Amino acid sequence: MATIQASNFVGGQTNLSYDRNPDKCPFCHKTITPRIYQGFYKGNNLEIVNRCPDSNCGRIFTSLYKKEVAGSSYNYDSSTVGNFVGTEFSDNISVLSENFVEIYNQASKAESINLNHVSGIGYRKALEFLIKDYLIHKDPENEEKIKKKFLGKCINDDIENPNVKEMAKRATWLGNDETHYVRKWEMKDVKDLKTLITVTLHWIEMELLTEKFKEEMN
């Protein structure tokens, strides 16, 4: 728990407790212990001005805090948006599904600015492109059929690799939750969806690498 002397918007000052400082700079994306300059509060909201201590960065940013109950400490919510850095995927995945990489990083950018209601939908769309491009790679003669088919049927009917099938199936369940009014998997969230996409990617990449080395060393 930390304490800061914060000002309100009419000139008053008071000591306020908050749970933690941000541990990553939103500009250089390095792990940091920020330099704390000033705090400003209004009701249940607290904003703290920080500076990145890295000599190559040194940017100023604001961390945002909220409290749920009157009299309690403020809890870290987010930091102001800096420079977005997308996820880098392997050459195998980038070649397999360029659209997956683009859509995934658009969803990730939305998540980075706390657009959580739309980022999950974006991850679900990215998953569909990944799975369909994977199936088209394996069965190019049925490309048009695969494109028009529902994702769930593609997974159940066309994926042979059991690891890809089971992980993609579960990723789709969570992805569908992001598009529906009522969630079926209430204890899971976007982080779990991203983890399942990552595991699905792992098994697809293992299959692609196996194909590559079998062809090169036949």
Q: Does residue 178 contact residue 197 with C-beta atoms inside 8 Å? A: no
Measured at the alpha carbon of residue 51, what is the angle toward residues 47 and 54, in degrees to the nearest 5? 150
Q: Which amino acid, residue 61?
A: F
Tens digit of pLDDT for each residue in 162-185? 999 999 999 999 999 999 999 999
Tens digit of pLDDT for each residue in 13-38? 999 999 999 999 999 999 999 999 99
Q: Does residue 39 contact residue 46 with C-beta atoms inside 8 Å? A: yes
Tabulate helix, strand, coil % of the chain (nearest 5): 50, 20, 35
**Phi then psi for 164, rounded to 5 degrees?**
-65, -45
Tens digit of pLDDT for each residue in 82-104? 778 889 999 999 999 999 999 99
To the nearest 10°, report the CA torsion of 142, 144, 148, 153: 10
pLDDT of 78 strictly over 80: yes
Q: Where are the domains of the chain?
A: 2-79, 91-216
Q: Is 65 helix (H, G, I), strand (E, B) or coil?
A: strand
- Would you state the structure tokens that stand for residue 154, as one six-digit string? 């593609």
pTM: predicted TM-score of the whole model, two decimal places: 0.74
Whole-number pLDDT of residue 82:
76
Tens digit of pLDDT for each residue in 141-167? 999 999 999 999 999 999 999 999 999
Measured at the alpha carbon of residue 29, what is the angle toward residues 28 and 32, in degrees to the nearest 5? 95
